Structure 1
Amino acid sequence: MRYELTDLRLFQAIAEAQSLSSGASASHITASAASYRLKNLEHAMGTALFVRSARGMELTPAGETLLVHVRELLRGVERMHGEVGRFSAGLKGHIRLLANSSSLNGFIIPSVSRFLAANPDVNIDLEERASQAIPCAVAAQEADIGILAGDIDASDVRAVRYAVDELILAVPNGHPLARQAELRFGAALDFDFVCMSRGSSNFLFLRDMAQRAGKSPNVRLHAHSFEAALSLVEAGVGVALVPRSVAAAALRDARIAGVRLAETWARRELNLIVRAEGKLPSFTAAFVQFLLNDPRVAATREDGAPVA
């Protein structure tokens, strides 16, 4: 068998994009060159790796097996570069991070900006995922690090407590609910809501909790970000379910009011996970420690209290 790391990286890109053209674009080569390389790889492997379908490029059983090994191999190469890179100045590498919307917007982005500024040779892919989908993605090596809300029930990842947050109801000043110190979520569903996008983990969670309460939220608008949602709340359009960490500045400036929810699920234990097996590259391990040691994040773990 003869093939190059370039071929394996291309194979992984096509498999993850489920598209030859998208995989080629991600690998910075033309689609025709990608097709030629893929044919050579399949010839070297002695079997077909993909089946073309209406949905794009789907892995064959052989392709699925190869993808597991390619991810492990390329991770090892990256780890090798990271370990050797310690002998030169600075950290170098590429990190993939999956996170739910609460942790991403409340804690991670400020930490990431400082880490990237201090480490110009490290690149980070950030992607939002629902909490329940993250452990499997990390175990399957789709990401190096995951940060999510709730307990972890997976033997192939290891977890460490990351932060403590709280979901609250953000309401306009002068709103009937603004006089409440605490209320049940079901009572809030009698009022108009502004929500995050339909595919966001925040909205999917809100929808599920509303269904559990036997109601459906009246969503006046789906906003593209928490900042936009809070602006709509401030303007009196509706109320929003948001992490306290995200609403902290608006609450301090009294631009909105915050109402606590008398629900056990409102308190959010955020966990950071990595694969149980294998050693992290030095730059990834350094990033993990940077995330955990961020003073604003660490403060929430010390007393178990959400960010004020």
Structure 2
Amino acid sequence: MIERSHLAILREVHRLGSLTAAAEALYLSQSALSHSMKKLEQQMGTPVWTKSGRNLHFTQAGDYLLRLAERVLPQFEHAEAQMQQFSKGQRGTLRIGMECHPCYQWLLKVVNPYLKAWPDVDVDVKQKFQFGGLGALFGYEIDVLVTPDPLLRPGIRYIPVFDYEQVLVVDANSPLAQAEYIAPEMLLDKTLITYPVEQSRLDVYNQFLTPAKCSPRKHKLIETTDIMLQMVAAGRGVAALPKWLAKEYEEKMPVVAVRLGENGIHKHIHLGVRETDLDIDYLSAFISLADSLSEHQAPASL
């Protein structure tokens, strides 16, 4: 009934927006593509899309199959890539998903020795996920999820690798630089600069500002840490970052890290993996290396 080719067609039509483009991407003629889907619709007894002029709209049944395609096809593609690597005598590819923007600097410290220790394993890093980090892990888009906010689910194991404190980074000439700690109301007239992450997932909001019913004057999104802290150093705003990262920038920029709240905001970075993958040697080796390096480097460099 439903074949992999049907799911591939649905995904490409949704991605590219037309039957012609989807047919070209799948190396099919448009008539062959249309015939295949027409046959599926006859077997299922319901249409998967409707046409209005040049526009194509998925039906409820089509939307359901599209969601199935987006979950299942990555698993097929991952399995095929693994089989190709095995056939060539390669170990595989370790795909790491990042839900922690500033953790790239930490990840570099782990990846460098890992690549040397495992020369037949490639490493790929992903940041954008179709269904979020946990969904990417379940959907086999990634093999390891680096996250400060683990969502507990059956079949997923989280390994804590290091602790850190979230701090506010301010211009060294700002009056805030002299504060023992930052109170939420001190940010009412400030521009808060953060990574482009949903506000609900930002600790500076959900653990600091929102409970105090405070908001900064302006919230600005910047993707790169260097540009973010150049803005802070120029007095254009303040930024919430892990203390270990802020301390690195204190050495090369006129910025100062100040505690958020009297007791601070304390977090943990976890590596999330599928429990069924824990016996994969190169994956478990990455976890062990990340854990051991973090133990040796914290808290001075982490």
Would you call these one fold, judging by a TM-score over 0.5? yes
- How far residue 189 of structure 1 moved from its aligned partner, in angstroms, is 1.4
**How does 1:105-144 map onto structure 2 within 5 Å?**
105-108=104-107, 111=110, 122=122, 124=124, 126-128=126-128, 133-144=132-143
Q: 1:281 to 1:28 in 2, by over 3 A?
A: farther
Residue-pair matches, total: 294
**Residue 216 of structure 2 corresponds to residue 217 of structure 1:** yes
Counterpart in the other structure of 2:255: 256
Q: Specify which of 25, 28, 33 is matched with residue 29 of structure 1.
A: 25
Deviations 1:223-259 (A, max 9, x none): 2322211011111222111123433421233531111
Q: Which amino acid aligns with 2:85?
A: G
> Bigger shift: 145-154 or 119-128?
119-128
Q: Which amino acid aligns with 1:99?
A: E
Counterpart in the other structure of 1:19: 15
Q: Which amino acid aligns with 2:197?
A: S
Is the 2:7–2:66 Cα contact (8 Å) retained in structure 1?
no
Question: Larger C-alpha radius of gyration, 1 or 2?
Answer: 2
- How far residue 66 of structure 1 moved from its aligned partner, in angstroms, is 7.7
- How far residue 168 of structure 1 moved from its aligned partner, in angstroms, is 0.9
Counterpart in the other structure of 2:289: 293
SS of 2:166's equivalent? strand
Is the 1:220–1:238 Cα contact (8 Å) retained in structure 2?
no
SS of 2:154's equivalent? coil
**Residue 153 of structure 2 corresponds to residue 157 of structure 1:** no
Q: Which amino acid aligns with 2:25?
A: I
SS of 2:127's equivalent? strand
**Partner Cα separation in structure 2 for residue 151 and residue 2 of structure 1:** 35
SS of 1:152's equivalent? coil
Q: 1:215 to 1:299 in 2, by over 3 A?
A: same
Q: Which amino acid aligns with 1:200?
A: V
**How does 1:69-80 map onto structure 2 within 5 Å?**
71-72=71-72, 75=75, 78-79=78-79
Q: 1:38 to 1:213 in 2, by over 3 A?
A: farther
**Residue 194 of structure 2 corresponds to residue 200 of structure 1:** no
**Partner Cα separation in structure 1 for residue 62 and residue 150 of structure 2:** 34
**Partner Cα separation in structure 2 for residue 299 and residue 121 of structure 1:** 19
Question: Taking structure 1 as the reference length, what is the TM-score of the superposition?
Answer: 0.69
SS of 1:19's equivalent? helix
Counterpart in the other structure of 1:173: 172
Q: Which amino acid aligns with 1:300?
A: S
**Partner Cα separation in structure 1 for residue 177 and residue 201 of structure 2:** 25
- How far residue 214 of structure 1 moved from its aligned partner, in angstroms, is 0.8
Q: 1:50 to 1:249 in 2, by over 3 A?
A: farther
Q: 1:173 to 1:70 in 2, by over 3 A?
A: closer
Identity of aligned residues (%): 15
Question: Taking structure 2 as the reference length, what is the TM-score of the superposition?
Answer: 0.70
Counterpart in the other structure of 1:189: 187
- How far residue 85 of structure 1 moved from its aligned partner, in angstroms, is 3.1
Is the 2:10–2:69 Cα contact (8 Å) retained in structure 1?
no
Structure 2: gaps (5+ residues):
none
**How does 1:80-99 map onto structure 2 within 5 Å?**
81-82=81-82, 85-86=85-86, 88-93=88-93, 95=95, 97-99=97-99
Counterpart in the other structure of 1:272: 271
Q: Which amino acid aligns with 1:192?
A: K
**Partner Cα separation in structure 2 for residue 152 and residue 67 of structure 1:** 22
**Partner Cα separation in structure 1 for residue 270 and residue 200 of structure 2:** 20
**Partner Cα separation in structure 1 for residue 181 and residue 235 of structure 2:** 20
SS of 1:154's equivalent? coil
**Partner Cα separation in structure 1 for residue 278 and residue 18 of structure 2:** 28
Q: What RMSD in Å do the two structures reach over aligned CA positions?
A: 4.6
Q: 1:74 to 1:137 in 2, by over 3 A?
A: closer
Counterpart in the other structure of 2:228: 229
Is the 2:165–2:242 Cα contact (8 Å) retained in structure 1?
yes
Q: Which amino acid aligns with 1:127?
A: Q
